[in-house]
Amino acid sequence: MDIFGHAKQAYENATTDVESALATAAAIPVSIQCWQGDDVKGFDTDASTAASGGIQATGQYPGRARNFSELTADFAKACEMIPGRKRINLHASYAVAAPGEVIERDNISFRHFVPWVDFAREMGLGIDFNPTCFGHARVKDGLTLSSPDEATRQYWVAHCRRAREIAQAMGDALDDDVLCNLWIPDGFKDTPADRLGPRQRLRQSLDEIFAAPLPRVVDSVESKVFGIGLESYTVGSNEFYLAYTAARNQVPGLQKVYPLLDNGHFHPTENTADKIAALLCFYDTIPLHLTRAVRWDSDHVPRFDDELREICAEIVRNDALARVRIGLDFFDASINRVAAWVVGARNVQKALLYALLTPHGKLKATQDAGDFTSLLVISEDMKTLPFGIMWDQYCDMQGVPRDGAWLPLVQTYEAQLSRQ
């Protein structure tokens, strides 16, 4: 028996179906964020000032992608080293303009994203989409959809409507559903005099944005605790979006909107895995952004750590792979950006495979039987099984390099570039 055979036997002794786990892992789509490749700069603003509104990509590593060709080349290179099914997650700020064209965000259209659709089709990728309500001169006093200035509010309503129309066109072009996720930076640095007014205006804006039913679009709203310069109050809080989506989804005929969970957008002591289990009781779809927070939403590259493993375990153990839409959201400018994509996405894949190889049925049965001793012992025993061999086998099956083999490929690719 070869080394994989011995490892497989060890897992099967723990009542794990190894072949099923490997096949299931290969079928799970993970949406990979385009903005890691260029530090959230986008194509429609001054690259030196693009990120704002609580968003900051830190570091000065050379080689940032500066245009569509460079960004897609880097993304394609990363995909060569990431196993499993992949989607590309786009922000509206990555619209591709014609030579000399200036794109206003309230006037973007599907034609600005046809190159992305062509790229996705060529690569065999799905697409997800996001309106970009930050990094722009029309963000007034830190507010967009909750602004008391009606012209500002209507500008961003128009932008978000356009974004949903683009997502629908992408879905039609690729014969696929497209997650269209809305995040806004709205909030205040200091204690506000009025907490209710901004949220009432945001509710009005959301009703206007989501008024048109779009069958190819899966709509979501993304909450956050705070951002840089917005430390005291966030309009789009978790409580607000949970209440908004729950209330809206009870009204027949309205397009459903879902709360997106970003595990970096909560207090460090909150458990995102527990939030997934809570929302599964009430929502048929849960969009998810995976990142790594270091004391706050710092969007670090995900590690194969306890938090990531527990989030993926919660999805798998509740048979929710078809209900949770997994995406990534991190941007690290302190290391090679292609390597950041690869290690982050591979760690998510590792966590999913690790969860799939865990005998959740057996663990649930011991819990229901009140046998907490066995529950603890079995859980701890699983940690020393030969997972690395399973991961190597999965990489081999997917035709991507094993750990230890992919970084030299990235370094060779980097050496061939002439970007500063």
Q: Which long-range contacts (CB under 8 A, 24 or more apart) does 274-281 make?
A: 274/314, 276/311, 276/314, 276/315, 276/318, 276/320, 276/324, 277/314, 277/318, 280/318, 280/320, 280/323
Active site residue 299: yes
Confidence of residue 54 (pLDDT cuts 50, 70, 90): low
Q: Kindly report the CA angle at 103 between 98 and 105, in degrees rounded to 5?
A: 145
Confidence of residue 253 (pLDDT cuts 50, 70, 90): very high
pLDDT higher than threshold 80 for residue 382? yes
Active site residue 208: no
Q: What is the pLDDT of residue 53?
A: 66
> Which of 105 and 268 is assigned the larger pLDDT?
105
Active site residue 183: yes
Q: Which of 8, 265, 275, 350 is catalytic?
A: 265
Q: What is the pLDDT of residue 191?
A: 96
pTM of the model as a whole: 0.95
The residues, ordered by sequence, that sit 6+ positions from 122 with a Cβ below 8 Å of its Cβ are none
Active site residue 222: yes
264 Cα distance to chain centroid: 11
Beta strands in 271-358 (DSSP E): 286-290, 324-328
Q: Which of 39, 74, 186, 329 is catalytic?
A: 329
Q: Which of 224, 275, 300, 350 is catalytic?
A: 224
The residues, ordered by sequence, that sit 6+ positions from 86 with a Cβ below 8 Å of its Cβ are 29, 30, 31, 32, 79, 123, 125, 126, 345
In the chain, % helix, strand, coil (3-state, to 5) comes to 45, 10, 45
Q: What percent of the chain has pLDDT over 70?
A: 97
Q: Which of 39, 222, 314, 332 is catalytic?
A: 222
> Which residues sit opposite 288 in a β-bridge?
261, 326
Active site residue 172: no
Active site residue 128: no
Q: What is the pLDDT of residue 229?
A: 82
pLDDT higher than threshold 70 for residue 267? yes
Q: What is the pLDDT of residue 379?
A: 95
The CA distance from 195 to 235, in Å, is 8
Is 173 in contact with 216 (CB distance < 8 Å)? no
Active site residue 86: no
Structure tokens at 213: 């039913």
The residues, ordered by sequence, that sit 6+ positions from 327 with a Cβ below 8 Å of its Cβ are 30, 31, 32, 33, 87, 89, 128, 179, 181, 287, 288, 289, 290
Q: Which of 35, 116, 156, 183 is catalytic?
A: 183
Instruction: Kindly state the average pLDDT of the residues 409-415.
Output: 96
In single-letter form, the type of residue at position 36 comes to Q
Active site residue 12: no
Instruction: Kindly state the average pLDDT of the residues 377-386.
Output: 96
Structure tokens at 191: 């204690």
Q: Which of 112-126, 156-170, 215-229, 272-286 is the least confident region?
A: 215-229
Q: What is the pLDDT of residue 268?
A: 86
Structure tokens at 230: 């917005």
Q: What is the pLDDT of residue 46?
A: 60
DSSP readout, 336-376?
Answer: -HHHHHHHHHHHHHHHHHHHHTS-HHHHHHHHHTT-HHHHH
How many helical (H) and strand (E) elements, i.e. helices and strands, does the chain have?
Answer: 14, 10
Active site residue 176: no
CA torsion, ordered 168, 169, 170, 175, to nearest 10 deg: 80
pLDDT higher than threshold 60 for residue 165? yes
pLDDT higher than threshold 80 for residue 363? yes
Q: Could you tell me which of 225, 231, 15, 273 has the C-alpha nearest to residue 142?
A: 231
Place of tokens 């709203």: 221
In single-letter form, the type of residue at position 349 comes to Q
pLDDT higher than threshold 80 for residue 33? yes
The residues, ordered by sequence, that sit 6+ positions from 239 with a Cβ below 8 Å of its Cβ are none
Q: Could you tell me which of 173, 143, 159 has the C-alpha nearest to residue 44?
A: 159
> Which residues sit opposite 148 in a β-bridge?
none
The CA distance from 129 to 167, in Å, is 6
The fold of the 29-356 domain, in CATH, is TIM Barrel (3.20.20)
Q: Which of 38, 128, 299, 314 is catalytic?
A: 299
Instruction: Kindly state the average pLDDT of the residues 130-135.
Output: 95
